[in-house]
Structure 1
Amino acid sequence: MSYTTLISANELAKHLDQPDWVIFDCRFSLADAGLGTKAYRQGHLPGARYADLNKDLSSQALSHTGRHPLPDFAVLAKKLGDWGVSNRSQVVVYDDAGGAFAGRLWWLLRTMGHQDVAVLDVGIQQWQKQNLPMTTHLPKVTPAQFRCYLDAKQWVSATEVENGLASRTITLIDARTPERYAGLQEPIDPVAGHVPKAINRPFQLNLDNNGLFLPAEDLKKQFQRLTESRKPEQVVHMCGSGVTACHNLLAMEIAGLSGSRLYAGSWSKWITNKNRAVAKSV
């Protein structure tokens, strides 16, 4: 059996010793870029590698790119092989933020043609709550060969977003908090507000009070209502920098609504062009 969306802590624990399973710790803090590495060193799941959002899962940010531009996929494929990931591997990714950062690697792997990747539901908190093993030891890795089968249709550009909104052929969903979407708060980017005609759905709405993803049927009803039952292929997701938007992509996949896409540059890329319109909620 392969896992392509979510996996529970108990189920993952049964597979810790299987050589074709590879685990990634994706913990990160936008406020302190070194915090994830520090947390990993203090304790992580047995065998887990650490994937850094800035260093591994993004290219270097430039003035025209936004904060977390997509990585060089050839470089990432080489890293995955060095980490022991092959095209036969079952990959599991986790963080301590409900999948907000792990979802980025989930999406990247799928975009590279690797379907057998799942997010640990709730994340490391659930693992610790169930008193499952932790370690400070770095994993012994046997390098493998990972072949990338990139599907560049999985993401769209700012121009495609503009054209799609103008022609009313896409629904754009913004995963940021309501305060940031409305332009009432902006703790990260230099301009506050949102893309005109974008709909706000904070990624946190995908989770219940315990941090678990909502049942598939609930997610399906919510997204269909939000998008007015448009085809998933007509749905584009964004956030601040193309990271937490992947959480909504994952939620739609769980719901059986496959085919939505990512505006990878997201808000931080949108505002690099002063000619692009900015909206605020009153």
Structure 2
Amino acid sequence: MTYTTLIQVPELKSLMASGSPCMVFDCSFDLANPAWGEARFLESHIPGAIHADLDKHLSARHGSPQPDGTVMVAKDADRPASGGRHPLPNRERFSEWLSEIGFSNDMQAVVYDRNGANYCGRLWWMLKWAGHEAVAVLDGGLQAWQEAGNPVESGEASARFQSNFELKAALARLVNADDVLEQLGQGSQTIIDARAPARYRGEVEPLDPVAGHIPGALNRPFTTNIGPDGRFKPARQLREEFSGLLQGREASGVVHQCGSGVSALPNLIAMEIAGLGRSALYAGSWSDWCGNPQRPVETS
């Protein structure tokens, strides 16, 4: 069986016991303390898991700051696929990393974190973008795994043999600032901003140089998708909530964004769980949008 959105703890246990090709990724991270995720991984993780770090593995390599404040990437091969604070690595570079850790096209990927699915969604989406459909989020994360009495291990991940992961046609839609700007104010596009309400309204901005939001964007904080038990809300409830937010707007026209393209993904995944299809991601998000003073900004 192939899992493409969520996988539950008993299902992961069965999958691991079956011997089917599978790789588990721990994507735990902390924006305020980037070393935190790796430290927590070394302390405890699901047996056999690989650590996928947002800065080291799931974002493009940054070059050296230039006199004008810009950051140039050293080689064309490292050119990011998006802007923003966490620019996407290009698909070719991402596939190289997957091959280095031994991930192959016949594997089921399972991603999790300790952060309410805030960071593991990034790898879920990137694998879809690389053409790999067999990837699922462990519902409830590491907490659910341990609450069920399952074992964890500590230390470095076990060595893996090099594989030859091959890119396929993208199964996820990536848009940039120009795409969003071109459709701004058109009924065919609906932007959903996953940031906290105060940041969306422009009352505070702890990370980016400009406060506010993209004109016309709707606000749905990414934490809204998770229930009191730490798992995604039921599909029916998510569908009702998104239908209430969209107010008749077409789900196919939704573009998800946040601060840097990471916390937007729980919203994107939740829409897919709800049966509303796979919508687009503006990966550069607000950190990319507000970097150009010519782009409009809205507050309130």
Give the match for residue 100 of structure 2: 82
CA distance in 1 between partners of 2:123 and 2:185 (Å): 31
**Cα drift, residue 153 of structure 1:** 6.7
Query: Structure 1 stretch 73-82 or stretch 104-113: which is displaced more?
Result: 73-82
**Cα drift, residue 31 of structure 1:** 0.3
Residue from 150, 157, 160 that aligns with 1:132: 150
**Cα drift, residue 114 of structure 1:** 0.6
SS in structure 1 of the partner of residue 255 of structure 2:
strand
CA distance in 1 between partners of 2:147 and 2:171 (Å): 39
Give the match for residue 15 of structure 2: 15
Asked if 1:112 corresponds to 2:130, the answer is: yes
Asked if 1:67 corresponds to 2:85, the answer is: yes
Asked if 1:170 corresponds to 2:189, the answer is: yes
TM-score (norm 1): 0.95
Query: Structure 1 stretch 177-186 or stretch 40-49: which is displaced more?
Result: 177-186
Deviations, residues 6-31 of structure 1 (Å, cap 9, x unaligned): 11122212223425010000001100
Residue from 268, 275, 281 that aligns with 2:287: 268
Misfit runs of 4+, over 6 Å: none
TM-score (norm 2): 0.89
Query: Structure 1 stretch 25-34 or stretch 220-229: which is displaced more?
Result: 220-229
Query: Structure 1 stretch 180-189 or stretch 139-148: which is displaced more?
Result: 139-148
Q: How does 1:152-171 map to 2 (within 5 A)?
A: 154-171=173-190
Deviations, residues 88-118 of structure 1 (Å, cap 9, x unaligned): 1000000011111000000010111111100
Query: Structure 1 stretch 37-46 or stretch 182-191: which is displaced more?
Result: 182-191
The answer to whether the 8 Å contact 1:61/1:68 transfers is no
**Cα drift, residue 61 of structure 1:** 5.0
Query: What percent identity do the matched residue pairs reach?
Result: 45
SS in structure 2 of the partner of residue 128 of structure 1:
helix
Deviations, residues 172-202 of structure 1 (Å, cap 9, x unaligned): 0000111111112222112211111100000
The answer to whether the 8 Å contact 1:98/1:211 transfers is yes
Give the match for residue 234 of structure 1: 253
Give the match for residue 33 of structure 1: 34
CA distance in 1 between partners of 2:9 and 2:278 (Å): 27
CA distance in 1 between partners of 2:114 and 2:27 (Å): 8
The answer to whether the 8 Å contact 1:96/1:123 transfers is yes
Count how many residue pairs are aligned between Structure 1 and Structure 2. 281
CA distance in 1 between partners of 2:158 and 2:4 (Å): 23
**Cα drift, residue 150 of structure 1:** 4.2
Query: Structure 1 stretch 144-153 or stretch 74-83: which is displaced more?
Result: 144-153
Residue from 186, 201, 208 that aligns with 2:227: 208
CA distance in 1 between partners of 2:29 and 2:109 (Å): 19
Residue from 212, 233, 236 that aligns with 1:217: 236
Give the match for residue 58 of structure 1: 59
CA distance in 1 between partners of 2:202 and 2:178 (Å): 22
Matched to 1:111, the amino acid is W
CA distance in 2 between partners of 1:85 and 1:101 (Å): 19
**Cα drift, residue 36 of structure 1:** 0.4
The answer to whether the 8 Å contact 2:125/2:172 transfers is no
The answer to whether the 8 Å contact 1:155/1:263 transfers is yes
- Cα 1:152–1:253 shift into 2, 3 Å: closer
| 5+ long unaligned stretches in structure 1 | none
> Root-mean-square deviation (CA), in Å?
1.6
Query: Structure 1 stretch 145-154 or stretch 242-251: which is displaced more?
Result: 145-154
Matched to 2:151, the amino acid is P
The answer to whether the 8 Å contact 1:60/1:68 transfers is no
Matched to 2:184, the amino acid is L
**Cα drift, residue 235 of structure 1:** 0.5
| 5+ long unaligned stretches in structure 2 | 64-69, 72-82
CA distance in 1 between partners of 2:20 and 2:186 (Å): 49
Deviations, residues 44-67 of structure 1 (Å, cap 9, x unaligned): 110100111111111135748310
The answer to whether the 8 Å contact 1:4/1:117 transfers is yes
Query: Structure 1 stretch 56-65 or stretch 29-38: which is displaced more?
Result: 56-65
- Cα 1:26–1:201 shift into 2, 3 Å: same
CA distance in 2 between partners of 1:182 and 1:26 (Å): 29
CA distance in 2 between partners of 1:89 and 1:15 (Å): 11
The answer to whether the 8 Å contact 1:16/1:46 transfers is no
